[in-house]
Copies of this chain bind each other. A is one copy, B any other.
Amino acid sequence: MFKQLGLIGCGLMGGSFALALKRSGLVETVVGYSQTQETTQKALQLGVVDRVVNTPSEAVRGADLVLIAVPVAAIEPTLQAIGPHLSDHCLVMDVGSTKQDVVMGARRALNGQIGCFVPAHPIAGKEHAGVEHASADLYAGCQVVLTPTQDTPMANTERAQTLWEALGCRVRCMSPEAHDTAYAAVSHLPHLLAFAMMKAIQDQRGGERLLSLAGPGFRDFTRIAASEPSVWRDILISNRQAVLAQLDLYQQALHAFETALITEDAPALRELIATASAARADWRLGQGPRSD
């Protein structure tokens, strides 16, 4: 149970966290800050926050829990701004999709205070950003990866884990490096590929007409292409080495399909598809590896 959540960034992710906490009775008051007045006012009207303030440091004053829900590139400056104003025993988390850069930034920004920070990445999202889409259910049933630093006391990691679990999440701890490598493969690259799909269609003559012919398969394949540009620029730039390495592996896999098509090797093509199809049919969201 927390007395006061300082919410920095009242968008979809931050707003949903506040709503979930309130619904579960895990927080008494939410104090919100967002870059634009429009967002903070909306958050207030929607009951996402109880009080709004004009600076990040005001948001954390008196808070025993702080969530930084801003694009990854803005996390370090935010930590820098709030560091001197954090209460003792305050638990600070982010929701960024990359973790090595966040941890490095946190080290620079927080110095000796780094122990209060438990980097978090909830694997959740929606087609539409903005506090108006925030929902107390966004995190229910989702996976949250925590990447505690070497200086994070175990007690703080446990507080973070308990909190996310109380919201219905499955929590997994890993190193920032392992996190970034894994999510380059299963999240960052798929986003890049989906963005490129939209561009490939837009760049051709009659692209608009092609889009009007597309069906439900296209809808699902490209859903993540609607993601927020600044957020994803930051993620891809920040994790670019791992993303480029995954892109290289992807090109090799794609090349195998291309070769089978060019040579009209129907048995090879069927085998390639069958292996992929079986793996996907076998997969379930939120299922741990079979060896777990």
Contact = CB atoms under 8 A, between A and B. Distances in A.
Interface of A: 123-125, 127, 142-143, 145, 172, 182-183, 185-187, 189-204, 208-230, 232-233, 236-237, 240, 243-244, 246-247, 249-250, 252-254, 256-258, 261-262, 264, 266, 269-270, 272-277, 279-281, 283, 285, 287-292
Given A212-B292, A230-B270, A232-B273, A220 B217 contact: no
Given A145-B213, A217-B187, A272 B199 contact: yes
Contacts of A272: 195, 199
A156 B124 CA distance: 49
A52 to B, nearest CB: 28
Given A216-B124, A275-B202, A250 B210 contact: no
Nearest to A244: B261
Contact of A193 (B172, B193, B225, B240): B193
Nearest to A122: B215
Pairs of residues from A and B, 9 with the lowest C-beta to C-beta distance, nearest first? A123-B215, A198-B276, A200-B253, A186-B214, A229-B274, A199-B253, A195-B276, A225-B280, A226-B280
A217 B221 contact: no
Q: Is the interface of A mostly helix, strand, loop or mixed?
A: helix
Given A277-B229, A289-B209, A193 B254 contact: yes
Contacts of A240: 261-262, 264
For this chain, the copies found in one complex come to 2
Contacts of A236: 261, 269, 273
Contact of A223 (B183, B189, B221, B237): B221
Contact of A247 (B247, B250, B258, B281): B258
11 contacts: A192-B261, A196-B256, A196-B257, A199-B257, A199-B275, A222-B280, A225-B277, A229-B273, A233-B273, A244-B258, A244-B262
A205 to B, nearest CB: 11
Given A195-B257, A200-B249, A202-B276, A224 B217 contact: yes
Contact of A143 (B185, B215, B275): B215
